[in-house]
A = this chain, B = another copy of it.
Amino acid sequence: MNENNIEDKRHLRSIKTRQKLLEAAREVFIQEGFHKATITQIIKRASVGYGTAYVHFEGKENFLVILMENVMEKFYEIAEAEFLPASVNEAEEMIHKQTNEFLKMAEDERKMLQVFEQAIGISPLVSEKWKNIRKKFIQRISEDIAYAQRNELARKDVHNELVARGWFFTNEMYLWEIVRNEYEHPIEQIAKNIASIYIKGLYL
């Protein structure tokens, strides 16, 4: 029966077709952008029939979501980094490091993130994915602030979640600016400046 066996020639062919499609989709997305990319362009580049695309993927959005999976994984990893500073100095170092890592993602994954940003505005599915990443970050930052407040490291007269959102938004928008190549300063400098305001504003 060979059920689920990768040695099954048919199954192998199917996997190869899927791979060809994904690779082609990546190239077309990067070249054309999400909006202008078409199924026809993708299947031609993959040298498969039109209908085949719909056998393997539900549509354009679906292609992108799968192509973005590992990038999204990286974001989650950054969001989950441990944060238990014993002093304001330690907090500063950790925040600075996290901001740096976050903004570096923009450089490292620029091309796919460019496509992703476009898709966020069009595809509800993609938009949902990004919302989840954002939510994760904000939740995490909120907890970090609450922790710092409990440990007399941060001001208690501000609402942790509201501040967390505001701080993440600054990071996020700089991410997109870097993705779009619209920034004129080194990432290191951006991170230093925004983290500096945030830390002096929030920490004691």
The residues of A with any CB-CB pair to B shorter than 8 Å are 35, 117-118, 120-122, 155, 157-159, 162-163, 165-167, 169-170, 172-174, 177, 185, 189-190, 193-194, 196-202
Q: Give CA–CA (A201, B203) in the complex, Å.
A: 9
CB < 8 Å: which of B167, B172, B177, B197 contacts A163? B197
What DSSP secondary structure best describes chain A's contact surface?
A: helix
Give 9 closest A-B pairs by Cβ, nearest first. Answer: A121-B121, A201-B201, A169-B173, A197-B201, A162-B193, A166-B170, A166-B194, A200-B201, A169-B170
| Copies per assembly | 2
Interface contacts beyond A162-B190, A165-B174: sample of 5 additional A-B pairs, CB < 8 Å, sorted by A: A117-B121, A155-B200, A162-B189, A163-B193, A169-B173
What are 27 A-to-B residue pairs whose CB atoms are below 8 Å? A117-B121, A118-B121, A122-B122, A158-B193, A158-B196, A159-B193, A162-B185, A162-B190, A162-B194, A163-B197, A165-B173, A165-B177, A166-B170, A166-B197, A167-B197, A169-B169, A169-B173, A169-B174, A172-B173, A173-B173, A196-B201, A197-B197, A197-B198, A197-B202, A199-B201, A200-B200, A201-B202
